[in-house]
Amino acid sequence: MTLGDPRSFCDLAPQLVPLDYTSCPDVKVPYELIGSMPELKDNPFRQRIAQVFSEDGDGHMTLDNFLDMFSVMSEMAPRDLKAYYAFKIYDFNNDGYICAWDLEQTVTKLTRGELSAEEVSLVCEKVLDEADGDHDGRLSLEDFQNMILRAPDFLSTFHIRI
């Protein structure tokens, strides 16, 4: 996506609310519609994604938020940008760090709740062992980015094709 004319991006989601975007750019699409898009409807993190990219953190997105979301999740976005937003998505309580509670939420969403509580806490422990560089019990953005550097698959998995 380029920073170009917004009209050319209207055809991206024609099934969304068909409003005239050129005249009223302040319309917010409710989260229910975003969450039922074919690209997002089976994604366990769709609620967090919508919350992170929406203006007020409630999941309702304007056109600009929508463009932001797909721009970051596209192929062309640089790795650091994707890592920044991925960090925000996994930070469930929005405190600027991924603590153990955030990790538990992530693992539960990832496995649809099919791992036992003991297994989940064991996994969270191992993740903190591996990724926490300054040993403060939670992951900062720098720890997360450092870990992402070691994962060459990140660019190809953190990508939504439109």
Please, which of residues 78-107 interact with another protein by CB under 8 A? 78, 80-81, 84-86, 88, 90-91, 93-96, 99-103, 106-107
Residue 115 Cβ vs another protein, minimum distance, rounded to whole Å: 6
Specify the stretch interacting with another protein by CB under 8 A; choose among 1-9, 13-21, 27-35. Answer: 1-9
Specify the stretch interacting with another protein by CB under 8 A; choose among 16-24, 27-35, 128-136. Answer: 128-136
User: Within 142-161, which residues bind another protein (CB under 8 A)?
Assistant: 144, 147-161
Give dist(CA 149, CA 56) in Å, integer.
Answer: 30
Burial zone of 63 (CB within 10 Å; 0-12 exposed, 13-18 middle, 19+ buried): buried
User: Within 11-70, which residues bind another protein (CB under 8 A)?
Assistant: 38-39, 41-45, 57, 64-65, 67-68
Residue 18 Cβ vs another protein, minimum distance, rounded to whole Å: 20
Nearby residues of 77 by Cβ (< 8 Å), 6 or more positions away: 71
Q: Which is nearer to another protein, 32 or 101 (CB)?
A: 101
Give dist(CA 63, CA 48) in Å, integer.
Answer: 18
Mind giving me the DSSP string for 28-59? -B-HHHHHTSTTTTT-TTHHHHHHHHSSSSSS
Which of these, 65, 66, 63, 70, lies nearest to 21 by C-alpha position? Answer: 63
Specify the stretch interacting with another protein by CB under 8 A; choose among 14-22, 27-35, 132-140. Answer: 132-140
